Structure 1
Amino acid sequence: MTESIRPGGTWSSAVEPLRPGDPRTVGPYRLEGRLGAGGMGQVFLGTSASGRQVAVKLIRPELAGTAHFRERFAREAAAARQVGGFHTAQVVDADPAAEPPWLATAFVPGPTLQQLVDADGPRDTVAVLRLGAGIAEGLAAIHRCGLVHRDLKPGNVIVAEDGPRIIDFGIAHESGADAMTRTGSVIGTYAYMSPEQVRGDALSPASDVFAFGSVLAFAATGRSPFDATTVPAIVHRVVAEPPQLDALATPLRELVGACLAKDPARRPDMDEVLARLSVTGPGVAPGAPGGAFGAAPGVAFHALPTQSAAAPPGGPDLPGALTAPAPATALSRRTLLLGGIGVAAAAVAVPAYVFRDSWLGSASEQDQTRPVARLEGHPQSPVCLAFSPDGRTLAAGGSAGELWLWDTVTRRTITKFEGEPPHVYRLAFSPDGRTLVGSCQDGTLRRWDVRTRTPLPGLSGFEALSIPIPYSLAVSPDGAVLAAAGGGTLQLFDLASGRRLKKIEAGEPSGVLFTPDGKAVATASRQRVLLWEVDGGEQPRTFTDDSVEFRFNRVLISPDGKTIGGAGPGVHLWDRATGRHTATLTSPHRRLEEAAYRPGHSMIAGGGFGLGPDDDVKDKTRAATGSTISLWDPKTGRVALTLTADLEESAGAPLLSALAFSPDGKTLAAAFSPSDSTIQLWQLA
């Protein structure tokens, strides 16, 4: 689902208007608006003939095109309709034979537990125990019907004013039945999966008990008890390491620890959990003084016998080959497509799994073209984005006098600098992630300490122009040198001291990048790409092609440093060693404003204007390309994937105004102007 996440401790469950191509009815329900989108399809707010509100999940036609999917959908929908109870959002209707299939559940207004904790922070112990009692009642109702939910997580718990509701029964299935996953895929969210679910074993209600323990730990701490900086590390902790429970109070720690036992047979069942949890007293609406989740005096807790959650000596015996863990990545709260996940550890090997949303059967069925999250709150469209080296922080700057730092794991703002700087055109992190440098509207280069979130002294040797010109920025791989290109010059600085090392007349540079070895700097200048030796003279190597008619807006360097490129009128590539022109990548965009190599891959992403200055803005087909990002495969010269932004309809033509990859290349962040002020995130396999 595309998520709208607002900074400042707020959340929104507002219903979006229906779009021109949306259906107006599904089965007997009149559709009122959009609730969101997941990997399996669109979710709408519907109303029955009697006025009852429901959430209608409409399955994507490409998923419904297989007999396997429809058989699974029919079986799971029928099973899920058996579930009752106060703390579940009941499945009330479904039609597996429709074109496309659909399912309706009771509509529960309110934020998810994930949204609430992300916005307002962790809950106190009393509130968590009260929440746990409600979730336990819901799970007990599911288990009494012989079903297993399989995807209990903070995003599938709605915190209503009168108590929690467990939602998304689309993947509930009969206890002990085949997991209905295909080879190489697992249903569920990695941080809340049980060890047996990770291994692809048959599941029992004990798997939900494990997820229940993780959800309570999240509510109390704001993180999964198996949290780590990489997905493989999380998976390894789930199957082989004890949970992180030190921050929990003793009664809660004992309950959660028992639920997180690695051996399913050692976990309590939900009836046993409920026998030890007793909650009395009136509910309190979320956000009311003194509590959340209806926290109130009168909570009685009967401790479970302490059971170790540690793995047996030697760890689990899992199949699969070891692969190196990927760097930290920014992940959506919804389940994401993550291909080729492996764990490098001394005593455990985990096979490659695909983690995905409800009912998805394989990697090919996951829609990577749609954003998985949106970061909201910027007064205007950001014009520059930069990931920190560890991928955990995303910096965003723009024209509204604000510089933002986002936590890419929680999707919450870390801080924002209001009114200073006046307008940031470009941003770059130092390789250690401690310093952020910005090129500003007033012609200055400024620095900030990321840890203390305070400004640092400016670059003393920098000469601002009398007419401020936006500078492009790059930091050398070793973190020693900052390159600033703009206003006819290329300037190099010692990043630590701010002292200028070199100033070169460089034509009209509009982009700058260091080569991976740090020995050279590339700039784009009109129809040429220039490569300057850091320790050499002021005569660059020139890369150009007679067919280039318009100026390059961005310079490109492949991750292996062997290819140099320029983007603007499409993408032109040269062999760095020989200077030979090797490829021209045709763009569906009138002009590329942003382009970059995907880290660790040969793929290039880029986007820009859909319309030219002489085009009619009413040409919606052409204008729509401004809301897309193309990913080229240079080997074939063709667009391999097109990403489409989730933008509101506007009279103006959209434009890609900022683009950045996370260091591991799995997350792409982008911003579009003029009508959209969000940062949109895509997850790539």
Structure 2
Amino acid sequence: MRPLTLGDPRAVGPYRIRALLGVGGMGRVYLGTGPDGTVAAVKAVRAEYAYDPDFRGRFARELDLARRVHGPYTPRVLDADPAGQTPWMATEYVMGPSLHDLVQLTGPLTEEAVRFLGRGIAEALGRVHADGTVHRDLKPGNVMVSASGPQVIDFGIAGALGDAHGEDGRIIGTPGYMAPENVRNEPGGTVSDVFALGGVLVYALTGSGPFGEGHPSAVLYRITHHDPVLTGVPDSLRPLVTACLEKDPARRPTTGEVLEVLGGPVPPAASAADWLPPPAAALLEATAREYREAVESSVYAHPLDRSALERTRRRRRRLLAAGAAATALALVGGVGTWATVSSPGEDGGPGERPGSRERCDLAEHIAPGYAEAAREHPRAPGSQMLTPVFSPDGDVMVAGGDSGIALWDWREKTELGLIGIETDGFGAIPVVSPDGCRIAYADSDGVHVITVETGEHRILQEGTDVETVAFAADGGSLLYSDWRSDASVVELDLETGEATGLYKGPGPADEIRTTPDGGHVVGVDYNGVLTLWEVGTREEVLSLEGVRSTLGSNIAFSGSEMFHVTQDGRIVRTSLPDGERLGEFTAEVPEGGSLSEVAVNPTADRLYANYKGSDIVITEDDLPLFGTKVWELSTGREITEDGDEGFIEWLAVHPGDEVLAAVPIDNAPVWVIDPARMRLIDRIG
């Protein structure tokens, strides 16, 4: 919960806006009170979408569905205006955390509590299915837990029966809870939601999904080829859960049959203590008290009333610690992280105060709050998409996940700092400033910039759905892309947060890099067009087509040479800035696979690239088509060996070329690899 700023509305329809609950790709969610004092979660659509007839149509359909399926276990729509100048809807405010957060904070639920939970979710899904609709994204994060029972939310991607894809043709859903038929791009149905329900029950009982965690590709592979892990599921519920998680959709029960096995429809509980174990019930009671205090303190506070803002910030920090979650149809925004700050001037003269150094040592200049978090809870920062990068001096490895950013002394395997974050995507992809003082990452609510030594966490260009971000070579500005912008890359002043220039190109960049000499900016858009601009003039000096655009790095540099992956799976070596083609690196990969991510280590005379097919590609031997290829940089000769480590991605070469850091297919710890022999040295995290 955040205090309002001057840019936030004071009223939406008849609702008086009290605080900001979250920011998502399509709009913002506010805490509002109606004329009769009813507290609501008010979802207001972003202005740019208000002029899109297609979006208005989708919003109206979402609203219509949410109204039709309302019952005791789905939040009720209180009011809405899909045809207004700015479309909005208000739903019941769920005072409690998501099931995901509740289990993480208080542990797995008892069998009795899970039976009650399952009956409520099954009843809610039954209403959805009776309307000829499939939810398509049931997961622990889309089940809110209130004192009266579960509340199923997020009908934003719900679709008609038999439709397994979004409007752009992509599979939709969340890895870990997607049914096998959806993974295979086959039409789904109501039983696809039943598969997800089985996964949610397993999570509630054990604290882990039935197909584990890790990289989405690995999880999806397990879903289609492995049996679920049901360790911790009581014998009395194991047959039901097993039936829900059947690979064959025809063998799964209906939601009605699930509801009957669990005991039939059940009325909402009178209190949290009536159905939840004591630790979970206590958390909900504490959450309710804290939210009431937060609402009362924000009712008449002016946005510039600093004392009121500070009171709200303090309460907000307590709420976050308690795991409180407030959501309307799953629009969740990033939350800033605050840490203890050293007193100005205690660390030396001008330019050496915390937050104003000319150069920082991430192993030493770190906020006490981040260091304390690492000591108390040393762990990998989440389970999705760990993305390693080295500090400029090479001493610290920074890795981003779906719940935080960790800083490790990779030589000693010691976690130095842990920065807790919230992100809408699979995880933060951190970049480190040239002076080593700041970490930035892109998210759907803006450009996040963290000053590591002070703990200051700013969101620049707030409300902008940022695709990717990079620091400029001088460290004084940031480069980012916004898919709604007319420019490929936007330059942002780091101090003021204002846009200072545009790099024009055919489309918003999916990957942004600066050349080693700092003289040029490189961007690759979604259509595979690579553009090279001169820094200062921002003039285009080179354009190449047919470049691969995927997650990870598709561009690498060695001096004045650039290496990029083509869409047909070759690696091209080019001189800069003239674009002269110097050669190619090719390798034989199994049918269905192609080279993707690339990295260069000049000292070891190595070029690396992973290969993979689609998210789920298998051979006749039922093995995934993933792996890594290695070449001699000087000769172009492939030197891949059978003893090399297997598929790795998010390749990060040490600034001094000492090691190669990467993430294995199971997204377990980050691997540290010998760059010449391609053998595992260590695991971090």
Q: Which TM bucket (shorter chain)? A: 0.3 to 0.5
Highest CA radius of gyration, 1 or 2? 1
Larger helix percent: 2
TM normalised by structure 1 equals 0.47
TM normalised by structure 2 equals 0.47
